Amino acid sequence: MTTDAAAKGSLKATPARRRNRRMPPEANIFLVLIGIALIYEILGWLLIGQSFLFNQQRLTIMILQVSVIGIISVGVTQVIITGGIDLSSGSVVGLTAMLSASFAQASTWPRALYPSLTDMPFFVPIGVGVLAGMLAGYINGQLIAKTKIPPFIATLGMMVTARGLSKWYTKGQPVSGLSDSFTFIGTGIWPVVVFLAVALIFHVALRYTRYGKFTYAIGANTQAARVSGINVEAHLIKVYAIAGMLAGLAGVVTAARAQTAQAGMGVMYELDAIAAAVIGGTSLSGGAGRITGTVIGTVILGVMTSGFTFLRVDAYYQEIVKGMIIVAAVVADVYRQKKRAKA
């Protein structure tokens, strides 16, 4: 009788389990996004008599603003999945923005050799920025994999170093006079296109390739991953190099959008990127997270920032609320981990 009852209970529970499995993990996060947007819409009509959602210009600006953070967040998500952290991405954005912008200046092109070309080909400054970011990430990965120092310390060191290099490179002076072929990628919807393309590529990579399986395996249990034959050190270097490459790409897009570059670009971007990943469901303990969730988390940050500006909330309060959101997201992650451990 007891066995039959247990079997019946198991059969009754099976459909619920199947529904839970069919429900994507990002569904709750998406509902939070809709709820936040609706709150701003209601407050907009009540407080200032305007619509928040039905304003194409506002929504366009918001999407463009989050695109750079989104590009960084895709790389940061992969780092966090391995159980690491990357605090250097904001400073790498500033450094690569300066480097790519300096190569995008018309004056740097050797007209004596190529008089028919007035500007540096656009792929040169883009390549310089992306490769410089990849080098910074590669150094992070080498330090973490070879010396075994904590990712927090390694990337903190890179954060300070990259910011110093960006100031030293032009002695603190801004870089302007960029070529039209370079700034084109920062105009219109191109930053959004770059962000979505990057998100799609690494969504597929994490879900359907060996690269993704190794990334999750290392984050879930490093020792088990090593025993199963994964070269943990080499893969960590690869993950951090990719994160640096995406930070470099974000720096290129930032310089192109602003049509200038300054050493102070990218300040605090790393925290926004980490917040977007965690809000999107990426576990700080490693082993769990999806790019689709990170995209939604990035949009949530953008909606909140745009909503505060829309309601004319002082910038100081915005920072306070953003800090509270980061803490709340981490608390929610701890709760999810405890619930998963009990299950």
The two three-digit tokens of residue 20, written as one number: 């839970």
Residue 326: per-residue pLDDT = 76
Encoded amino acid at 94, one letter: G
Cβ neighbourhood burial of 54 (10 Å; 0-12, 13-18, 19+): exposed
- Which range, of 17-26, 55-64, 68-77, 138-147, averages the lowest pLDDT? 17-26
What are the residue boundaries of the structural domains of the chain, listed by start? 61-342
Backbone φ, ψ for residue 233 (5° rounding): -60, -45
pLDDT recorded at residue 59: 84
Distance CA(301)–CA(279), nearest Å, equals 9
| 128 confidence band (pLDDT: 50, 70, 90) | very high
Residue 51 has pLDDT above 50, yes or no: yes
178 three-state secondary structure: strand
How many CB atoms neighbour CB 321 within 10 A? 14
Lowest mean pLDDT, pick from 18-27, 34-43, 48-57, 188-197: 18-27
Q: What is the mean pLDDT of residues 13-25?
A: 54
As a whole number, mean pLDDT of residues 30-42 equals 89
Q: What is the mean pLDDT of residues 218-241?
A: 93
Instruction: State pLDDT tens for residues 249-307.
Output: 999 999 999 999 998 899 989 999 999 999 998 988 888 899 999 999 999 999 988 88
> How crowded is residue 75: how many other Cβ atoms within 10 Å of its Cβ?
31
Q: Cβ distance 122 to 184 under 8 Å?
A: yes
CATH domain 61-342 topology: ABC transporter involved in vitamin B12 uptake, BtuC (1.10.3470)
277 touches 81 (CB < 8 A): no
Segment 310-337 shows an average pLDDT of: 79
pLDDT, position 14: 46
| DSSP state string for 249-316 | HHHHHHHHHHTSB-TTTTTTHHHHHHHHHHHTT--TTSS---HHHHHHHHHHHHHHHHHHHHTT--HH
Q: What distances in angstroms separate CA 190 from CA 157, 184, 194, one per listed residue?
A: 32, 8, 6
* Cα–Cα distance, 308 to 55 (Å, whole number): 15
